[in-house]
Structure formats: C-alpha cells, structure tokens
Amino acid sequence: MDGDVRINPYLTGNFAPVRSEDDFTLQVTGELPRELAGALYRNGPNPQFEPRDPNYHWFGGDGMIHGFFVENGAVRYRNRWVRTPKWELEHAAGKSLYGTFGNPMTTDPDAMGKDSGVANTNIVWHAGRLLALEEAHAPFELDPVTLGSKGHAAFGGKVTAHPKTDPVTGELVFFGYADAEMPLSPTVSYGVTGADGILKRRDRFEAPYSSMIHDFMVTSGHVLFPVLPLTGSLQRAMSGLPPFAWEPDKGAYVGVMARDASVDTIRWFSTDACYVFHVMNAWEDGQKLIADVMRYDSAPLFPNADGSRGHNAAAYLVRWTFDLAGDSDTIKEEKLDDLAGEFPRYDERYTFRANRHGWFAAQSVKPGDFRSNAIAHIDLKTGSRTQWEVPMGDAVGEPVFAERSADAPEGDGWLLTVVHRGAEDVSELVVLNALDVAAGPVATARLPCRVPFGFHGNWVAA
C-alpha cells in the first residue's frame, strides 16, 4: 500500500461500522442468575455510509442501539440505527452528507443548516421513555422493545449525553453546551425535567470559553459544570483547523451553583489544565462537595489547536473537593488509584451519597488505549482493587451495574459488559459478580457477529 495513504483508525478493526440490523437468540455459557431480568441497552457510533470527511472522528458516527434482553436465563439481541433526521436525510440520498460534528467545511450544501444530530453516546430510561443522547441535540426517543425510532423529546433545546436522575425526586437534571444559534459558542444551558417528563426549568449562561463539556457533576443540592481546555472554535474550523482542540493555556474551571439558584450565582473554582470525560459520583459533606472523576493530564483523541497530533494521555480516578466555606477557589485533588481506565460506574442507588464500591474499564497493558483489557473493582473505603483481565487482542466495554434486588446491600449484584474477542472477531455479553470480578464470568452470551466499540449503556430492570 502507498505509504502516503492514511487509514482512519476509527474505520478499522472493531471501530469499523456494521451494516446490518439483526435479531438473534444468543448461545449462553455458564448460568445467568434468575434474578437478572431486564434489558441492557448500549449506544455507540456506527456510520450508515462511508464518511465524507477525510478527518472523520469516532464521536461523529450515526447512533446504533444494541439491546440485550435477559429473561429466564436466556438472552435475545437486537440492534437498530437511531433514525435521526440526519440518518433519514442520508438514507434517502444513499450517501453521507455531513462533516464530522456538522463541520460546515465538509458538509454537503444540501445538508447545510439541517439537523446533524447522531444520538450516538448514551441511552437512558426516564419517565417511561427510552432516550438516546449525544452532545449537542435534543434526546431521541426509542421503543424499548423494538428499538424503533419515535422522534425527538421536548427538552427545550440541546442536551448532552450525561444527565443525572435524582433518586429522591425522580427529576432528570441535565445541561447542554455550545447552546446558542452560533456553533461552538461558550453558551451553556442548565435544565431540569420532572419525574413526569415535563420540562421544569431551562436557563443559559456564558462559560469562560467554548469547551466540550461531556459530563458534569450533580449532588443533592448543587450542580457543577467543568469547563476544561478541550476548546471549540468556529473560526478555527472555518480556517480548516480542528473544530475541537486541546488548548491548555485557557486554564481549567468548574462552575458551582445551588440547584435551585439563578445561573447568575455560579462560583468558578479552578485547577491545573486537565480533562475529564466521565464522573463516577458526587455528593455533599457538610460545606464541601466531593466528586470522583476520571482525570486526564490532556484531552485524548483530539489534536492540538494548530492541527498537530495530540497526546493520548491516560485517565486515573481522582477525588475533587470543593470547599464552599473556604476562602480559596482552588480545587483540592487526591489520586484514588494508579490503574489507568475509563467509563467509571457505581451502584446508582447511591447517587448523591458517598459510595463504597466503584468499577471501571481498565487499561493494565497500555494506559491511554480506549481498547481496555480489564474490568476493575475498587473499594473506596479500603483502597483495595481487584480486576478481571481478558486475553491479549480482546477488549472490554463499560461495566454496567445491575443490583440483585431493590433492597440488596450496596454492590450486591452483577456487572454487564460487552467484550470483543479479537481472534474470532465476534462479541459477547459477559456477566460478572460485581463484588468478585476477579473470579471471572458468571455467564457469557455469544453473538455470531461483533458489536463495534461504543460508549455507554444502561440496565433497565424488567
């Protein structure tokens, strides 16, 4: 092959899309717990057509939902594209029309100014609705059984991929970034939808600069907005440089606000330049707010502002403390573990409370590689960690917790993760005992095909 030909890494191996929508009954090895009944819904990018953008980014592919339906020791699998307006427009044209992130420099004139949402990042259950989410568009509702597309849900505008459900009120607390008519703006929105699915609040404020704010922190009484220097710039994009890029000189900030207060009251705390894709959990300790996050020294998967290649730093679990009664606006940071990883999860019955148990997809062989090779369990009380590793060439996805019962002790349940078996190029649903991951799978359900690397999933009990 010509040495000058660049192969896009996001279109090869298990990053590459699958082109079919399938329904299978899976072969189960081991014994699925009888208490485990419900569905694991998983979301990830899967371009319908060959991308037109030569610099196609993994985050820009059409959303595809993978459903694993577990009942009476059996597993059924179904995958469907999320039929967003973008997907429908391109399907009718028979080709890709949009640049990555809707970049106007690489978007077909026929699609210019039209909805570019891909609904490819997360999938949540709220108010009796199954919602596919991504960075910069309204949630997209799906049928929980057929995965058929129902259309956008009314949340008053853009919603990013990581809303938080209040376990007491049932409210869905969310935010959106670049939430203005001008693309890549510093405008951020904050919203609340009631347990009934009706929008209760939507406010906007200006961040210190335009940032890709993938996740945020919520406690029982506060919201925290991380504005970290993975910056967005329309001017940069229009000049042919990256729309999003790493600019550490911008500084790193977290805006803190009482949940029922005006956005005018946001107090900005600061820390050294870093990036956070994902939060494990956050809670209050008197006048202090505590947040456990996966912290990078620099943003991975993105270039520098001049277009040069960025550094794929690794993420490590750290604890951020915000002292609301103190005189300093500096964030206190404590490293909790020395194993690189991503996709932190916990027993979500402990949302807004100090959780003892946490899990993440770990990188014990090659830190900073999103193709994680282990599932780790960390005991945040003792600091001890155990892990289950897959053979070289295999890769694990995000571990999703499912409790044994509503009143089971914290962590008593299972982890569900999708594993890609590299040698066979197929995927498996793997079930682990959440408090004994080192023992290996309780059961596996094998697909006759592969599930491309994706982002987030959630368990919905039957």
pLDDT of residue 408: 97
Query: Hey, how many other C-beta atoms are within 10 angstroms of the C-beta on 361?
Result: 23
Q: What residue type is 35 in one-letter code?
A: E
Residue with tokens 């959990």: 281
Q: Which of 346, 313, 455, 459 is nearest to 397 (CA)?
A: 455
Low-confidence residues in the chain, pLDDT < 70: 1-6
Q: In the beta sheet, which residues pair with residue 415? A: 401, 432
200 touches 194 (CB < 8 A): yes
How high is the pLDDT of residue 169?
95
pLDDT in tens, 120-152: 999 999 999 999 999 889 999 999 999 999 999
Measured between its terminal Cα atoms, the distance across the chain in Å is 51
301-328 confidence digits (pLDDT tens)? 999 999 999 888 999 999 999 999 999 9
- Give the Cα separation of 156 and 176 in Å (integer): 10
pLDDT in tens, 255-296: 999 999 999 999 999 999 999 999 999 999 999 999 999 999
Buried b (16+ CB within 10 A) or exposed e, 122-146: bbbbbbeebbbbbbbbbbbbbebee
C-alpha distances (whole Å) from 103 to each of 60, 111, 227 are 10, 11, 22
Q: What pLDDT, on a 0 to 100 scale, did the predictor assign at position 290?
A: 98
Quote the pLDDT of residue 4.
47
Instruction: Write down the pTM of the prediction.
Output: 0.95
pLDDT of residue 145: 98
